[in-house]
Amino acid sequence: MTTLTIQPEDGAAPDAVHTDFPVIAKHLSEVGILLERWEAARPLAARAGQHAVLAAYAEPVDRLKALYGFKSADVISVGPEHQTKSELRATFLKEHTHSDHEVRFFVEGRGLFYLHPEARVFTVLCERGDLISIPAGMRHWFDLGAEPDLKCIRLFTSPEGWKADYTGSDIATRFPTLEAFLAEHGGARSASAGA
């Protein structure tokens, strides 16, 4: 289930844990992050390719293209058999920014975004059906897990696609990996704690 924790940037215990989607979306919108839940306009086969996925989500993709000026969309799929999964994970696990919005829609699977807009870190477990849009310039990192299994739609305004500007901070080492987060919060049932 989609889960949000909010905690100090020093990695201390979370001040709040939320599993209620509208509450999560509200907290994220307060720091400029869009979180939506999407559904496919038509059924998708288990191994649907890029064209089928983009066709199934054409309406919301077109809406975001118009809203942000995105020029292209693609589908990235990373499974446990992916030959460079460890290298990909290491690339995403360092705090960075982008000169463009980072938009991901989870068609399948899940991943953990760590958003660092202020002196707090908002950790968001995104799962199938979740769309997240991180504004340009916001510090963040992402964990797809040691055995990734995700398929995401990505949208871009520039032809070169994903390009990171690393901050050089070691902040990511103070926060749990996807596996540790799931062990601690994966079964969270309460709407919030401590907030």
Q: What is the pLDDT of residues 59-78, one digit of tens each?
A: 999 988 898 888 888 898 89
What is the phi/psi pair of residue 102, to 5°?
Answer: -105, 115
pLDDT, residue 161, reads: 59
Is residue 3 within 8 A of residue 188, CB to CB? The reply is: yes
Quick one: what percent of the chain has pLDDT higher than 70? 92
Please, what's the b/e burial string for 138-149 (b: 16 or more CB within 10 A of its CB; e: otherwise)?
Answer: bbbbbbbbeebb
**Would you say domain 3-184 falls under CATH 2.60.120.10?**
yes
Please tell me what DSSP assigns to residue 119: S
Mean pLDDT within 15-21 = 95
Residues paired with residue 28 on neighbouring β-strands, in sequence order: none
> What is the distance between the alpha carbons of residues 152 and 112, in angstroms, rounded to a whole number?
13
Domain spans, the chain = 3-184
> What is the distance between the alpha carbons of residues 49 and 54, in angstroms, rounded to a whole number?
9
Mean pLDDT within 49-66 = 90
The more confidently predicted of residues 24 and 163 is: 24
The more confidently predicted of residues 91 and 158 is: 91
